[in-house]
Amino acid sequence: MAKQKSLKEEFTKGIVKENPVLRLVLGTCPTLATTTSMESAIGMGISAAIVLVCSNIVISALRKVIPQKVRIPCYIVVIASFVTIVQLLVKAFVPSLDQQLGVYLPLIVVNCIILGRAEAFAGKNGIVASAVDGLGMGIGFTCALIVISAIRELLGAGSLLGHGILPFPAMTIFILAPGGFFVFGLVMACANKLAEAGGGKKAELGGCKACPMASSCEKLAKGEDCEKEKEAVK
Amino acid sequence: MKIFFSILLTAILTNNYILSKFLGICPFLGVSKKLNTAVGMSAAVIFVMLLSSAVTYPLNTFLDKHDLGYLQTIVFILVIAALVQLVEIVLKKYIPALYASLGIYLPLITTNCAVLGVTILNIDNGYSFSHAMINSLGAGLGFMVAMVMFAGVRSRLESCQVPKFLQGLPITLVAASLTSLSFLGFTGLVENMFA
């Protein structure tokens, strides 16, 4: 690959233009689940970013060794190894965070952002570019989590990072499940609005390119859903 | 017997995997546009959840016995991925009718966090094997309930006038929020029923 994009561009695209959560709509599960407080959101963002950078580096270093046909299982093994490392580190040094994140920590393995970047970027690009891409995407993920969690914690618990701020009673619903969906929906609407003002496209699920399982999904797409969705978008 | 029902109902209603644990949101938003795809996907998820719980549970006992507990994440995801592939091949060869209805959803399930989530939660909650299987069944059924309900909501949504900035995904998420709100009504139901 020729250097058609500067490293700076690779870095910033993950934060704004291709923000994994708000633009590519990947990794929705951890986004909804860990944004009940800013603390756990930051913890999740950083853990995922570490896994993302490390797995991007290793996968890009191995991209010529891994056979095309079994690449997805190989990627999963690499990612799972780094998730285990992060999991053990968090358990050892920040046990309170481990308690908060619970099952979502091991579930970073199936976070589609990580597999998606491995498939879409690290498998095709050099080590430095992949590391920068991973870092940008990781920071973009963390930023989106922080924005959503700040809203939810402020409204739902009346605090920010555990410090009580709101003088009036908080609306607990915002840190419960429905509030998660609601705030995520509104934040995404705002992001769409901003993107529109900046001349970008709306965020769409079924941006099939972004999904790591796009190749196996083709059968499904051929028949019905994705095709129709594409038409609906037009 | 009581505990079986309690686990089953908890997994379906009060702790619905999609609507209160946020596991499996991608298929929830992606495949819930039409009722029949929603049902097909859910059936495949129930099948894979039961199967992978049945396989990973004894495997975890084995890992624990040999002090290899830290390998849990890697082993589980690989077992699930391999299992899904295997099931796909077996179905294709021997039960083509079932393959025709479930087959296309199977590869999508490998990276479905609800499946890995249920296998890990079975271990974390300290369930016995039979309780773990019941929990997996409940999780799968809960997945189906949420998917089917949401498919209905979405078909109503299609014919609505939505403000431009909310169109598409944002309004879908707000609708999901309301669906999830309705499930909050079940809070405390199971505890009181079996108290």
- Taking an 8 Å cut-off on Cβ atoms, the answer to whether B116 and A180 are in contact is no
What span, in angstroms and rounded, lies between the C-alpha atoms of B154 and B103? 24
* Cα distances (Å, whole numbers) of residue B107 to A30, A119, B47, B60: 21, 16, 13, 24
Query: How far apart are the CA of A234 and the nearest CA of chain B, in angstroms?
Result: 12
- Taking an 8 Å cut-off on Cβ atoms, the answer to whether A28 and B121 are in contact is no
Nearest Cβ partner of A185 from B25, B30, B170? B170
Structural domain spans, chain A = 7-203, 205-234
Hey, how many other C-beta atoms are within 10 angstroms of the C-beta on A204?
18
> B89 in contact with A at a CB cutoff of 8 Å?
no
pLDDT of chain A, 234 residues: tens digit per residue? 444 567 787 788 777 777 888 887 888 888 888 888 888 999 999 999 999 999 999 999 998 888 888 888 888 889 999 999 999 999 999 999 888 888 888 888 888 788 888 888 888 888 898 999 899 999 999 999 999 999 998 888 888 887 777 777 778 888 888 899 999 999 988 888 888 777 666 666 544 444 555 544 544 444 444 444 444 443
Question: Which residue type, as a one-letter code, is found at position A74?
Answer: C
Q: Running DSSP on this structure, what letter comes out for residue B127? A: -
What span, in angstroms and rounded, lies between the C-alpha atoms of A117 and A52? 8
What span, in angstroms and rounded, lies between the C-alpha atoms of B3 and A207? 43
Exposure string of B33-65, with b = 16+ CB inside 10 Å and e = fewer, is: beeebbebbbbbbbbbbbbbbbbbbebbeebee
Residues 98-117 of B with CB under 8 A from A: 104-105, 107-108, 110-113, 116-117
Query: What is the reported pTM?
Result: 0.84
- Taking an 8 Å cut-off on Cβ atoms, the answer to whether A84 and B71 are in contact is yes
Would you give the end-to-end CA distance of chain B in angstroms? Answer: 14
Nearest Cβ partner of B104 from A81, A206, A220? A220
User: In this structure, what are the phi and psi dihedrals at residue B144, rounded to the nearest 5 degrees?
Assistant: -65, -45
> B177 in contact with A at a CB cutoff of 8 Å?
yes
B15-33 pLDDT tens trace: 888 888 888 887 788 777 7
Q: Residues B76-87: what's their mean pLDDT?
A: 86
Query: How far apart are the CA of A100 and the nearest CA of chain B, in angstroms?
Result: 13
Query: How far apart are the CA of B186 and the nearest CA of chain A, in angstroms?
Result: 13
Number of residues assigned to chain A = 234
Query: How far apart are the CA of B57 and the nearest CA of chain A, in angstroms?
Result: 16
Question: Which residue type, as a one-letter code, is found at position B31?
Answer: V
**Do the beta carbons of residue B59 and residue B75 sit within 8 Å?**
yes
Nearest CA in chain A to B113: A110
Query: How far apart are the CA of B36 and the nearest CA of chain A, in angstroms?
Result: 11
Nearest Cβ partner of B170 from A28, A106, A192? A192
Could you give the ipTM of this predicted complex?
Answer: 0.85
Hey, how many other C-beta atoms are within 10 angstroms of the C-beta on A31?
28
Nearest Cβ partner of B73 from A84, A115, A192? A84
Using N-to-C axis directions, what is the helix angle for B129-158 and B113-124, rounded to 10°? 150
Mutation for testing the B interface, residue in A19, A28, A70, A119 having most B CBs under 10 Å? A28
Nearest Cβ partner of A225 from B37, B72, B184? B37
Nearest CA in chain A to B70: A84
Contacts of B73 in chain A (CB under 8 A): 80, 83-84, 87, 106, 109
- Taking an 8 Å cut-off on Cβ atoms, the answer to whether A29 and B113 are in contact is yes
A13-34 pLDDT tens trace: 777 777 888 887 888 888 888 8
